[in-house]
């Protein structure tokens, strides 16, 4: 049985769905840090001293729409040392949602671990996993990853992006875009040029699906720490500060696809510092 977890936000429902997970040395992931920087955060690493990196997606059920936020690692070769075989579609089904039920696939950004299950391989041909869904991408993000042969290769364009475009299922949007009246994009650039988070607001409750604006709970405290994968570290740092300030002020729910599963918690003050408190 795969890992999934359901949480209501007002009239909307969030379902955290794990595709796979990895264990990574902290100084390899946050490559500007040194071993001593982690002495105060041993509670955030495992017995081997590694960070747990969840590779997860979110289902959002809102106003009669079934929305999938990001599509995980899938079957694509990558540098992530996945601990189990990626299984997003089957875990979704265990959670009660078939791939054909998905009305909208929306992306925080187009890194390989967020687009992997766009397609599956059938005899060497990429076939859409979510054939009934519109696929929604920020225009600036799409333009970046399709802007050169090198970046097209980096985004595995031929395998996971071109089939969506060819099927006429691609919608390019800009800035704050209302997926439904309860689910709205929030630009949080820096990790990639067009990175967005998603704000789910319903019935007086709010959750922020933060994508890769942050990857680990330590970043609530060490908000200036950037992973090596952040393309523009100055901008990602500014985005992260603004995002966590807003989340803390609103006492909103954090919904992360990379924090340890299920990736749900709050930003709270403890000992004069902002920390992550999982729920």
Which sequence spans correspond to the domains of the chain?
A: 4-278
Token couple for 28: 């390899």
Q: Using CA atoms, how far apart are residues 57 and 158, in angstroms rounded to an integer?
A: 22
Q: Output DSSP code: residue 160.
A: I
Instruction: Give me the mean pLDDT over the 197-207 stretch.
Output: 98
- Give the model's confidence band at 233: pLDDT under 50 very low, under 70 low, under 90 confident, else very high: very high
For 237-273, how does the pLDDT look when each residue is reduced to its tens digit (9 = 90+)? 999 999 999 999 999 999 999 999 999 999 999 999 9
Q: b or e along 12-28 (b: 16 or more beta carbons within 10 Å of the residue's beta carbon)?
A: bbbbbbbbbbbebebbe
Q: Using CA atoms, how far apart are residues 274 and 267, in angstroms rounded to an integer?
A: 6
Q: Is 84 left (phi over 0), alpha (psi -120 to 50) or beta?
A: beta
Q: What is the pLDDT of residue 2?
A: 73
Token couple for 143: 């333009």
Q: Using CA atoms, how far apart are residues 148 and 154, in angstroms rounded to an integer?
A: 10
For 153-168, how does the pLDDT look when each residue is reduced to its tens digit (9 = 90+)? 999 999 999 999 999 9
Q: Are 244 and 232 in contact (CB under 8 A)?
A: no
For 16-69, how does the pLDDT look when each residue is reduced to its tens digit (9 = 90+)? 999 999 999 999 999 999 999 999 999 999 999 999 999 999 999 999 999 999
Q: Of 55, 71, 66, which Cα lies nearest the Cα of 161?
A: 71
What is the CATH topology of the domain spanning 4-278? Metallo-beta-lactamase; Chain A (3.60.15)
Q: Are 90 and 76 in contact (CB under 8 A)?
A: no
Q: Using CA atoms, how far apart are residues 191 and 214, in angstroms rounded to an integer?
A: 9
Q: Are 279 and 266 in contact (CB under 8 A)?
A: yes
Counted residue by residue, the chain has a size of 279
* SS3 assignment, position 6: strand
- Give the model's confidence band at 79: pLDDT under 50 very low, under 70 low, under 90 confident, else very high: low
Instruction: Give me the mean pLDDT over the 103-110 stretch.
Output: 99
Q: Using CA atoms, how far apart are residues 206 and 100, in angstroms rounded to an integer?
A: 28
- Find the distance separating the first CA and the last CA of the chain, reported in whole Å: 22
Is the per-residue pLDDT at 71 higher than 80? yes
- Give the model's confidence band at 77: pLDDT under 50 very low, under 70 low, under 90 confident, else very high: low
Percent of the chain topping pLDDT 90: 97
Q: What is the pLDDT of residue 80?
A: 80
Q: Of 9, 5, 7, which Cα lies nearest the Cα of 251?
A: 9
- Give the model's confidence band at 86: pLDDT under 50 very low, under 70 low, under 90 confident, else very high: very high
Token couple for 244: 């966590």
Q: Is the pTM of this model over 0.85?
A: yes
Tell me how far the alpha carbon of residue 185 is from its chain's centroid. Answer: 13
Backbone angles phi, psi at 261, to 5 degrees: -55, 140
Q: Are 140 and 130 in contact (CB under 8 A)?
A: no
Q: Is 189 left (phi over 0), alpha (psi -120 to 50) or beta?
A: beta
Average pLDDT score, the chain: 97
Q: Of 106, 115, 80, 254, which Cα lies nearest the Cα of 177?
A: 106
Is the per-residue pLDDT at 209 higher than 60? yes
Q: What is the pLDDT of residue 81?
A: 83
């Amino acid at each position: 049985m795969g890992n999934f977890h359901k949480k209501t936000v007002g009239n909307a429902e969030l379902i955290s769905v794990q595709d796979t997970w990895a264990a990574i040395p902290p100084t390899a992931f946050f490559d500007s840090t040194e071993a001593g920087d982690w002495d105060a955060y041993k509670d955030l690493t495992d017995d081997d001293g590694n960070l747990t990196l969840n590779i997860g997606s979110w289902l959002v059920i809102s106003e009669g729409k079934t929305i999938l936020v990001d599509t995980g690692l899938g079957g694509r070769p990558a540098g992530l040392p996945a601990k189990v075989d990626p299984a997003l579609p089957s875990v979704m089904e265990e959670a009660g949602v078939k791939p054909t039920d998905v009305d909208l696939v929306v992306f925080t950004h187009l890194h390989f671990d967020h687009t992997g299950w766009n397609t599956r391989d059938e005899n060497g041909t990429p076939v859409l996993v979510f054939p009934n869904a519109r696929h929604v991408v920020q225009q600036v993000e799409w333009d970046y990853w399709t802007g050169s042969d090198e970046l097209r290769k980096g985004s595995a364009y031929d395998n996971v992006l071109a089939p969506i475009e060819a099927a006429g299922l691609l919608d390019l949007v800009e800035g704050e875009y209302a997926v439904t009246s309860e689910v709205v994009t929030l630009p949080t650039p820096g990790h990639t040029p067009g990175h967005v988070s998603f704000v789910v607001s319903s019935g007086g409750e709010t959750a922020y699906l933060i994508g890769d604006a942050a990857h680990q709970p330590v970043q609530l405290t060490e908000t200036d720490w950037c992973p090596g994968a952040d393309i523009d570290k100055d901008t990602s740092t500014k985005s992260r500060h603004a995002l966590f300030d807003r989340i803390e002020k609103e006492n909103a729910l954090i919904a992360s696809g990379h924090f340890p599963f299920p990736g749900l918690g709050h930003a709270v003050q403890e000992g004069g510092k902002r920390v992550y408190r999982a729920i």
